[in-house]
C-alpha cells in the first residue's frame, strides 16, 4: 500500500475523549496527566494507537470542536509541556497518537474571526465566508445575521458559533463567493498546512480531520475539496512520512482519492454502519434477527474493492457522536459485535469505555453542545469507588455525572473476572494480532449473505491461509444448506467460538443462536 506508514497496518486505535477519561488533579475534568497515568491500561488492552479528541484552546461550546487557538493547549487539560510529555510517554511504549484537527471552521472567539468581524478591511476580512449585506440569501448554507458590526451574514459549518473558514466555492455565483484560487482561500490553506506542521514537529503522529469533506462550498462531488487535500497531504507525507491522516468524510473512495490513509465507515454518508448497529431491532447485530446483512454488503464490498490497494476503511465500536454500542445489547451481543469489528478489514477504533460495555446514559442535560450525544460522553468507569474512580472532585464539580445504575460496569471488576467483556476484548485483540489472515489489509470475501436472513459468512485470506467466520447474532438457531455456505466444514479447524460451533446434519449447517465461529483452512 503506497505512502502508508508501516505502523498503521497493525494499528488498533483507542479513542480518548479527554475531559471524560481520567482526572488527575481533582477538578472534575479529565486532563493530559490523567491520560498519561492510564497509558498502560490502553496498552494492556492491546491498543497501540490513540485518537484524542480536540485538546486545543477553546470556549468549549462544542466540546473543543470550536477552536480559539490552534497553537495552544486548553488550560483545562494542562500545558504544552504536558502534551509533549504525553507524546513522549506514548512513544516510549511503542504506541502512536493522532490529534483531532478541526479544519473547516473555528470558534467565533478565535482572533481571526474577531478581526474578520470588524467593519474595517483587514488581513482576515475574507478568511471566513461573508455575504455583502446582512439580508443577502445564504444560498442554502447555514448563516448568522446581525451578530456583528460588519455588514453581511457569515456562514457556519454547524453551530452558530462555528464560522466557516473560506476555502472558496467550486462554482461561485455571487460576488461574495470567492473561487478556490482567491488569495484569501489560498491563505486559509497555507495556514492549515502551518498548523499541521506545528503539531507534527511537536511529536504527534498525524491527524483525524473533522468534517474533512466540508472545506469548499457548492462543491458537487467534493471535487475541489479533494483537490485541496491532494495539494496538502502529499506535502505532509513527504516531510513526515510516518504520519497518518484519517478523515471524517463518510465516503471512503473520495477520502482515499483525496490522499487520506483511511476513512471512517460512519453513521452518515454511507449506510453500512447503521445497518449493522444503529437500526434498532432491525440492526443485523440484534438478537431479534430482523436485520438485513445485504444492505451492508451491497455497499461495503464495492467500497472495499475500490480502496483496498490504496487505503483503509475503518470501523469503530462508536465515538463521541454516537449512541454507545452497549445500548440495548447484552454482553453476548457486544462480544459478537467486537468479534466482527476485529475480524473485518481496516484499522479498528475502540471508543473509550466500550470495552467494558459502558452504557448510554439517558436523560442528561446537554453539556458543551452534546445534546443527544451527551449520554455517550460520561466519565470512564475505573472502579466502584467515588465517581467511579474517575475523579476525587465533589459531585457538583464533575464534568458529567456517573452512570446512576448502581451496577455500572468498571475496569476493576472486569479485570478480575475472566468471563468479562473486557477480558474477551483483550483476547480478541490478541487473536487478531496473532493471525495475519485477520490483518487490516488481508483479503476479504463474502461467502454467504442473503437478504433478511441469518447467518453471515465471510472469509479473510493470505496467500497460504484462509479464515472463515460464521456470524449469527440472532437469538434463534439459523440454517444454511451445506452447498451454499461457500466452504467445507470438513476441511476447517475451529480456532475460536462464541456461543457454540455449527453442526452438519442432512447436508444442512445449523448455526447456534448468538454465536460466532472462526475456522482456519490451508489454501
pLDDT (mean) for 15-25: 98
pLDDT in tens, 241-297: 999 999 999 899 999 999 999 999 887 777 778 899 998 899 999 999 999 999 999
Q: Is the pLDDT of residue 2 over 70?
A: no
Q: Is the pLDDT of residue 493 over 50?
A: yes
Q: Output DSSP code: residue 512.
A: P
460's enclosing H/E stretch is strand 456-461
> How many residues belong to the chain?
523
Query: Cα separation of 229 and 255, whole Å?
Result: 9
Classified as helix, coil or strand, 80 is: helix
Q: List, in order of start, the domains of the chain with CATH numbers.
A: 6-103+184-433 (3.20.20.80), 105-164 (3.90.400.10), 442-522 (2.60.40.1180)
Provide DSSP, 424-484.
HHHHHHHHHHH-GGGSTTSEEEEEE--TT---EEEEEE-SSEEEEEEEE-SSS-EEEEGGG
Q: Please give the pLDDT value at position 133.
A: 87
pLDDT in tens, 397-428: 999 999 999 999 999 999 999 999 999 999 99
Q: Is the pLDDT of residue 321 over 90?
A: yes
Q: Output DSSP code: residue 312.
A: E
Q: Is the pLDDT of residue 115 over 70?
A: yes
Q: Please give the pLDDT value at position 271.
A: 78
Where do we find the cell 497555507?
190
Give me the chain's average pLDDT, please.
96
Q: Please give the pLDDT value at position 522.
A: 82
Query: Cα separation of 388 and 160, whole Å?
Result: 35
Where do we find the cell 438457531?
477
pLDDT (mean) for 223-236: 98
Q: Is the pLDDT of residue 82 over 50?
A: yes
Query: Cα separation of 15 and 340, whole Å?
Result: 19
* Band of pLDDT at residue 336, cut at 50, 70 and 90: very high
* Band of pLDDT at residue 173, cut at 50, 70 and 90: very high
Q: Please give the pLDDT value at position 1.
A: 45
pLDDT (mean) for 46-70: 98
* Band of pLDDT at residue 72, cut at 50, 70 and 90: very high
Q: Please give the pLDDT value at position 117.
A: 97
pLDDT (mean) for 186-206: 98
Portion of the chain with pLDDT greater than 70, in percent:
100
SS3 of 345-405 = CCCCEEECCHHHCCCCCCCCCCCCCCHHHHHHCCCCCCCCCHHHHCCCCCHHHCCCCCCCC
Query: Cα separation of 261 and 349, whole Å?
Result: 14
Q: Please give the pLDDT value at position 65.
A: 98
Query: Cα separation of 235 and 223, whole Å?
Result: 19
Q: Please give the pLDDT value at position 309.
A: 87
Q: Is the pLDDT of residue 464 over 50?
A: yes
Q: How far out from the chain centre does Cα 97 lie?
A: 14
pLDDT (mean) for 348-367: 98
Where do we find the cell 500500500?
1
Angle 514-298-9 (CA atoms, 0-180°, nearest 5)? 75
Query: Cα separation of 15 and 3, whole Å?
Result: 24
pTM (predicted TM-score):
0.97
Q: Is the pLDDT of residue 518 over 80?
A: yes
Q: Is the pLDDT of residue 314 over 80?
A: yes
471's enclosing H/E stretch is strand 465-472
Residue in 253, 250, 258, 206 with CA at minimum distance from that of residue 231: 258
Q: Is the pLDDT of residue 490 over 90?
A: no
Amino acid at each position: 500500500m503506497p505512502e502508508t506508514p508501516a505502523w498503521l497496518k497493525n494499528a488498533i486505535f483507542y479513542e480518548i475523549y479527554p475531559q471524560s477519561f481520567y482526572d488527575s488533579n481533582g477538578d472534575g475534568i479529565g486532563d493530559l496527566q490523567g491520560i498519561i497515568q492510564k497509558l498502560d491500561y490502553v496498552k494492556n488492552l492491546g491498543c497501540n494507537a490513540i485518537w484524542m479528541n480536540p485538546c486545543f484552546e477553546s470556549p468549549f461550546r462544542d466540546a473543543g470542536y470550536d477552536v480559539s487557538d490552534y497553537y495552544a493547549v486548553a488550560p483545562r487539560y494542562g500545558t504544552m509541556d504536558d502534551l509533549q510529555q504525553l507524546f513522549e510517554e506514548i512513544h516510549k511504549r511503542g504506541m502512536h497518537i493522532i490529534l483531532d484537527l478541526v479544519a473547516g471552521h473555528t470558534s467565533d472567539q478565535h482572533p481571526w474571526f474577531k478581526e474578520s468581524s470588524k467593519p474595517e478591511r483587514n488581513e482576515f476580512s475574507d478568511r471566513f465566508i461573508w455575504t455583502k449585506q446582512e439580508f443577502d440569501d445564504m444560498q442554502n448554507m447555514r448563516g448568522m445575521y446581525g451578530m456583528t458590526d460588519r455588514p453581511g451574514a457569515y456562514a457556519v459549518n454547524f453551530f452558530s458559533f462555528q464560522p466557516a473558514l473560506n476555502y472558496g466555492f467550486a462554482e461561485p455565483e455571487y460576488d461574495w463567493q470567492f473561487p478556490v484560487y482567491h488569495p484569501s482561500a489560498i491563505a486559509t490553506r497555507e495556514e492549515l498546512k502551518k498548523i499541521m506542521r506545528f503539531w507534527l514537529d511537536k511529536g504527534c503522529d498525524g491527524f483525524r480531520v473533522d468534517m474533512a469533506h466540508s472545506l469548499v462550498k457548492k462543491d458537487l462531488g467534493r471535487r475541489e475539496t479533494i483537490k485541496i487535500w491532494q495539494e496538502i497531504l502529499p506535502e505532509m507525507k513527504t516531510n513526515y512520512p510516518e504520519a497518518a491522516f484519517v478523515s471524517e468524510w463518510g465516503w471512503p473512495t473520495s477520502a482515499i482519492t483525496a490522499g487520506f490513509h483511511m476513512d471512517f465507515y460512519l453513521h452518515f454518508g454511507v449506510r453500512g454502519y447503521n445497518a449493522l448497529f444503529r437500526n434498532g431491532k432491525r440492526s443485523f447485530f440484534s438478537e431479534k434477527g430482523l436485520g438485513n446483512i445485504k444492505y451492508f454488503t451491497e455497499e461495503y464490498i464495492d467500497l472495499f474493492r475500490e480502496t483496498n490497494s490504496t487505503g483503509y476503511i475503518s470501523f469503530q465500536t462508536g465515538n463521541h457522536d454516537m449512541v454507545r454500542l452497549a445500548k440495548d445489547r447484552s454482553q453476548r451481543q457486544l462480544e459478537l459485535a467486537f468479534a466482527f469489528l476485529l475480524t473485518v478489514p481496516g484499522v479498528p477504533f475502540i471508543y473509550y469505555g466500550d470495552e467494558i460495555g459502558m452504557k448510554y446514559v439517558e436523560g442528561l442535560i446537554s453539556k458543551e453542545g452534546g445534546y443527544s450525544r451527551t449520554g455517550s460522553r460520561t466519565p470512564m468507569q475505573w472502579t466502584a469507588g467515588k465517581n467511579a474512580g474517575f475523579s476525587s472532585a465533589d459531585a457538583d464539580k464533575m464534568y458529567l455525572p456517573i452512570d446512576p445504575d448502581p451496577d455500572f460496569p468498571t475496569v476493576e471488576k472486569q479485570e478480575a473476572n475472566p468471563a468479562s467483556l473486557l477480558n474477551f476484548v483483550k483476547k480478541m485483540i490478541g487473536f487478531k494480532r496473532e493471525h495475519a489472515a485477520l490483518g487490516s489489509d488481508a483479503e476479504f470475501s463474502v461467502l454467504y449473505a442473503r437478504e433478511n436472513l441469518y447467518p453471515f459468512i465471510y472469509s479473510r485470506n493470505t496467500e497460504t491461509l484462509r479464515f472463515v467466520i460464521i456470524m449469527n447474532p440472532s437469538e434463534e438457531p439459523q440454517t444454511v444448506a451445506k452447498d451454499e455456505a461457500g466452504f467445507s466444514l470438513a476441511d476447517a479447524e475451529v480456532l475460536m467460538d462464541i456461543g457454540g460451533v455449527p453442526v452438519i446434519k442432512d447436508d444442512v449447517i445449523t448455526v447456534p443462536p448468538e454465536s460466532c465461529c472462526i475456522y482456519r483452512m490451508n489454501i
